[in-house]
Amino acid sequence: MIVVILFLNYSTVISQSSNSLQFDGLNDHVIVQNDSSLMISDSISINAWVNVQGNHGGGIGNIVFKQNIESCNFNHIDFRLSSTNNLQLVLCEENGCPGDFVLLTGNTALQSDQWYFVSGTYDGAQAKVYVDAVLDGNQTKTIYMSPENTPFSIGSNINDGSSSLGAETRFFNGYLDDIHLWSKALSIQEIEQYMNCPPNGTEQELVAFWNFEEGTGSTLSDLTTNHNDGVLTNNPTWSIETPEYFCNATSNSEIIQSPINVYPNPISNGDYLRVKQTYEQLNIYNIQGEHVSTHKGSEDINISNLTKGFYLLIIDHQKYKLVVE
């Protein structure tokens, strides 16, 4: 018997944000002025939804960036996509670059026109990158980041609206949504949690959370009390192109853990899903809300037709999340 999450009083299990920002890969970006909360020196995590639409300006698509202007001598936070759209996390310490620094490249090349939840973490010794809450690369390295009083950029490596890292000006080409910055290294369980349902802005060690829900105007608001609001520069475009995810439509207090004889969960493709209790009907839905299959009685369920991802099980009107690895 394992414990699965039982969701009560759901109006829907498939959730979706309303807006994102589209960046043209040419010159648009968001500038956030420096704040003491952004002076991260020990551990860090960055999460974002990304959807690549073409070649990035300068060959590299910066998701978020913070660095001493036109210098590599101080704190360097650079979370980006390479020229092949592999996830990269770059962190430099004082007097690093080219000194002591983390340069971690993930194994997965992201495909165009598809939403991915990407994450980078560092705990002072281990750097890790994740794609859709699956570890995609790691590096062991001890560095000591030294914060610098420079702005924070979203969608480019521009620090102050005009300056960048030397002559290598880089711009992201595609959609960005739900970016969160943390002053701790999130666990894989926490990353999966925030991929399924974003933070609310009050979590401890959450430095900034931009949920891109404005839909209009020139300000990207930070939902935390740090108020690290950004200014849209060179007109990135508000869009209704957004990712879908599992998210409770009620408060966390209405989610309980219930011992249910449904196993294994997570399950590997090709295995049989077993439900020990007798049920009248079991339905499986994919993350798009599309019905996949119906099962009756207490039969073991062959899930070989399910690809990797999240699914909704409805067993006699009760709802459960199934993870296929």
pLDDT per residue as tens digits for the range 128-175: 999 999 999 999 998 887 777 889 999 998 865 444 444 468 999 999
320 pLDDT higher than 60: yes
Residue ranges making up the domain that contains 275: 2-12+249-324
Please give the pLDDT value at position 11.
Answer: 36
Please give the pLDDT value at position 116.
Answer: 94
Same domain, 225 and 265: no
297 pLDDT higher than 50: yes
Number of domains composing the chain: 2
Please give the pLDDT value at position 252.
Answer: 36
Q: pLDDT digits over 194-236, tens only?
A: 998 899 999 999 999 999 999 999 999 999 999 999 999 999 9
Same domain, 269 and 197: no
Detail the DSSP E strand segments found in 151-210.
152-154, 173-182, 206-210
How far is the CA of 244 from the CAs of 19, 247, 289, 300, in angstroms? 12, 9, 10, 29
Same domain, 37 and 61: yes
Q: pLDDT digits over 185-197, tens only?
A: 999 999 988 998 8
Same domain, 102 and 228: yes
Could you tell me the CATH number of the domain that includes residue 265?
Answer: 2.60.40
295 pLDDT higher than 70: yes
- Given the structure tokens 């209009």, which residue do they identify? 216
Please give the pLDDT value at position 261.
Answer: 66
Q: Is the peptide bond before 199 cis (omega within 30 degrees of 0)?
A: no
Same domain, 49 and 144: yes
Instruction: Answer with the one of 201, 224, 241 that is the final residue of a domain.
Output: 241
- Given the structure tokens 């007798």, which residue do they identify? 278
Please report, rounded to a whole number, the percentage of residues in the chain having pLDDT higher than 90: 49
9 pLDDT higher than 60: no
Same domain, 305 and 291: yes
Same domain, 196 and 113: yes
Query: How many H-runs (helices) and E-runs (strands) does the chain carry?
Result: 1, 27
Give the pTM. Answer: 0.74
Query: Cβ neighbours of residue 83 under 8 Å, at least 6 residues apart?
Result: 56, 59, 60
Same domain, 48 and 161: yes
Tokens of 160: 């102050």
Tell me how far the alpha carbon of residue 259 is from its chain's centroid.
Answer: 29
Please give the pLDDT value at position 17.
Answer: 77
Average pLDDT in the 294-318 region?
79
Same domain, 219 and 279: no
Please give the pLDDT value at position 3.
Answer: 34
Q: Using alpha carbons only, what angle is made at residue 16 by residues 239 and 257, rounded to the nearest 5 degrees?
A: 160
Please give the pLDDT value at position 7.
Answer: 35
Please give the pLDDT value at position 208.
Answer: 98
Could you tell me the CATH number of the domain that includes residue 85?
Answer: 2.60.120.200
Q: pLDDT digits over 234-270, tens only?
A: 999 999 999 877 664 333 333 333 445 677 888 887 7
Q: pLDDT digits over 34-47, tens only?
A: 999 999 988 999 99
Same domain, 170 and 309: no
Same domain, 229 and 259: no
98 pLDDT higher than 60: no
Instruction: Answer with the one of 190, 225, 241 that is the final residue of a domain.
Output: 241
Instruction: Answer with the one of 218, 241, 264 that is the final residue of a domain.
Output: 241
289 confidence band (pLDDT: 50, 70, 90): low
Same domain, 195 and 311: no
Please give the pLDDT value at position 2.
Answer: 33
**Are 153 and 62 spatial neighbours (Cβ–Cβ below 8 Å)?**
yes
313 confidence band (pLDDT: 50, 70, 90): confident
